[in-house]
Amino acid sequence: MDMDENTLKKLNSTKRLSKFIDIYHKRNGSLTNELNDVSAALKEENAAWEGAYVPGMQIFITGPAALGGACLLLKYHRDRLEKHFSNAFLKNAERKLALQETAFGSDFLSIPVAEQGISGALFALGKLAGLGFTIDSWKIPVIQEVTEICEYFQLNPYQLLSGSCHLLLANASYDPYPDTGLTRIGHLTASPEKVIVHGGTKALLNRPGPDEYLKILKESLK
């Protein structure tokens, strides 16, 4: 890759995936800048919902986590994947990723799961709502092939760019129809603590670090 020293320094110091790809894309046409910044999307989509968040509201997710990052890995790092996974495995992963799309009504409070993945979206939700939450990590859907791909690259799927996926909030009494594609993963709480339950253990969600896909991009510069 032919980049000047100044550009390489900028890339290596960048902590936002969207900014990294923006710089990279200007120098190399192999990546497209299709990312949505979570904070910008929150301002646009949730301004009308200010003050509407209350303890007890249910938190749903519209699809599996880490789809966006998995698509990028399959598209731009397939040579590495082909050394470890069979062609049938990779084709099956692509087929499953292509099928993931869930429609939802505009009456939901929604937060996009974009850069920094589900962890970033949950942290943004807590900040926006001014409340805490309890989330069952085992209920967050992740496609098995995506889990294996993330394990191969040593990436955390919960902090990896997602695709057309949203967090939705609904009142405590809401009961979705079967086969809606919505998965209940937790609820808002009056306490400010952002609690993630892993089986029988509990942990607090701190501010997420950079998107996991940045690790792969920065590796490619070495």
Q: How confident is the model at residue 165 (pLDDT cuts 50, 70, 90)?
A: confident
pLDDT for 194:
97
Helix (H) or strand (E) holding 135: strand 132-136
Q: Where are the domains of the chain?
A: 39-210
Point out which residues pair with 133 in neighbouring strands. 188, 194
Specify the pairing of strand 132-136 against strand 194-198. Answer: parallel
More confident residue, 24 or 152: 152
Q: Mean pLDDT: which of 6-10, 66-70, 96-100, 195-199 is highest?
A: 195-199
Q: Decide if pLDDT at 132 tops 50.
A: yes
Q: What percent of the chain has pLDDT over 70?
A: 73
Topology of the domain covering 39-210: Phosphoribosyl-aminoimidazole Synthetase; Chain A, domain 2 (3.90.650)
